[in-house]
Amino acid sequence: MRTQVVIIGAGPAGLALGRLLEQAGVDAIILERKSANYVLGRIRAGVLEWGSVELLDRAGAGARMHAEGLVHHGTALSFDGDRMHIDFTDLVGKQVMVYGQTEVTRDLMDIRQGTTVYEAEDVQLHDFDGKPWVSYSKDGTTHRIDCDFIAGCDGYHGVSRASLPASAVSTFERVYPFGWLGVLVDKPPVDPELIYAHHERGFALCSQRSPTRSRYYVQVAADEKVEAWSDTRFWDELRRRLDPQTAERIETGESIEKSIAPLRSFVAEPLRFGRLFLAGDAAHIVPPTGAKGLNLALSDVALLGSALIEALQDGSAAGIDTYSVRALERIWKAERFSWWMTSLLHVFPETGDFGRRIQRAEFDYLMGSRAARQSLAENYVGLP
Ligand code: APR
Ligand code: PHB
């Protein structure tokens, strides 16, 4: 078999790239290790920068997002119960769209016309420095696909980055000593906007998926077990970390999903190895605090998509030659912002009294300074 681009991974990065290529008439096959239902079962973040909204529109995948997504004009931050409003529209004239990653993935799957091989086992990358090809097995048969380019969109644990010689990649990493325990519940959100809360017991987040479905998180120790958290314990802990008015208004209920996610900052450099390119979580991880993971994945593939189209259709290497440098510039800015939001809002084992006073001073500075709030808003809605 032969195609122009083999895309490894059918997460949002792989599916969006596949769509951008097929719109331009470039032939691509996606190889995904799991089933479509498994991919759709993963609950992840749900805030889209406006650039991501526009990309999904261009991809022809925006209809349901505009019908069901919730446009947010701002967000709330709270520190030991004191609340502050960050008004994106007033500060930077932009908004975000609250629409779950699961829904983005479903919409991209629904419009895809090209081939996606689900449950492709033992995917292996070959000769990506020369004439690339990819092998995989399905139902006991091994297949070979020859191609011009390989796009590694297979997430942090994928095979693409793992196939590179260690000497070819530099990695930069920070593992945080805590995780987020998340609960999904079919109850209306406590507030029209998201609330990011710092409390001496730890961080908490009130998020949402729809007018009738909410997503809440609390910071927990990295080695915490989800089994140790009954719904009652979760709701009690969440309420303790919020301002009293919000705590009182929360509508609790039986959780429909509950899981713990570790927090990590990670970047691999470079993103190009001959005819292999990395994009999305395969190349970088951000802690979820700034809601940047999905957005970065989409901005990577916007760059990579046009670079591959240029290379295949115009014979110009300009895009593929500069992809890594251009994508990394944006990636590091999002890494910085996610790290900063995480540092401001979480309790670290080493924070101590001095550290908490500094966090409080940072919060007070934001409250008192339009310039500081503008910087937060500019990053949150997404840099160009
Ligand atoms: N072979 C084929 N597919 C693979 C392999 C493999 N060896 N390893 C992983 N995959 C698949 C995974 O099953 C997954 O469906 O690659 C896909 C990667 O998808 P994501 O992890 O969702 O990564 P990405 O598409 O880059 O999206 C980034 O996901 O984790 C969030 O915060 C992150 O929102 C961001 C988004
Ligand atoms: C979510 O709704 O899951 C969510 C929202 C905002 C974040 C992180 C997660 O910063």
Model confidence pLDDT, tens digit, residues 104-113: 999 999 999 9
Q: Which of 103, 134, 136, 281 to mutate to test the pocket of ligand 1 (most atoms within 8 A of CB)?
A: 281
Q: What is the pLDDT of residue 384?
A: 87
Would you place residue 28 in the very low, low, confident or very high pLDDT band (cuts 50, 70, 90)? very high
- Tokens 């008015």 locate to 245
Among 248, 383, 272, which residue's Cα sits nearest to residue 323?
272
Segment 191-212, tens digit of pLDDT? 999 999 999 999 999 999 999 9
What atom of ligand 1 comes closest to residue 12's alpha carbon? 25
Averaged pLDDT, 11-20: 98
Helix (H/G/I), strand (E/B), else coil: 351: coil
Q: Percent of the chain having pLDDT more than 70?
A: 100
Q: 43 CB under 6 A from ligand 2? A: no
In the predicted model, is pLDDT for residue 162 greater than 90? yes
What's the CA gap between 238 and 69, in Å, rounded? 25
Average pLDDT rounded to a whole number, residues 140-153: 98
The residue assigned the tokens 């995780």 is: 179
The domain locations on the chain are 5-58+99-173+264-342, 176-261+345-381
Atom of ligand 2 nearest to the CA of 288: 8
What is the mean predicted confidence (pLDDT) over 334-347?
98
Question: How confident is the model at residue 113, as a pLDDT?
Answer: 96
pLDDT range class, residue 168, cuts 50, 70, 90: very high
Q: How far is CA 259 from CA 32, 185, 224, 266, 346, in A?
A: 23, 13, 11, 21, 19
Of the bound ligands, which one is closest to the alpha carbon of residue 189? 2
Which atom of ligand 1 lies closest to the CA of 158?
A: 8
- What is the CA(48)–ligand 2 centre distance, in A? 10
* Alpha-carbon Rg for the chain in angstroms: 21
Q: Which ligand is nearest to the CA of 259?
A: 2
Q: Which among 210, 223, 221 has a CA at the least distance from the CA of 349? A: 221
When the candidates are 3.40.50.10320, 3.30.460.10, 3.50.50.60, 1.20.1240.10, the CATH number that belongs to 5-58+99-173+264-342 is 3.50.50.60
d(C-alpha 328, C-alpha 323), whole Å:
8
Residues β-bridged to residue 144: 135
pLDDT tens sequence across 215-265: 999 999 999 999 999 999 999 999 999 999 999 999 999 999 999 999 999
Reply yes or no on whether the pLDDT at 45 is more than 90. no
CB 373 within 8 A of CB 88: no
Q: Average of pLDDT values for 324-338?
A: 98
CATH architecture of 176-261+345-381: 2-Layer Sandwich (3.30)
Report pLDDT for 44: 86
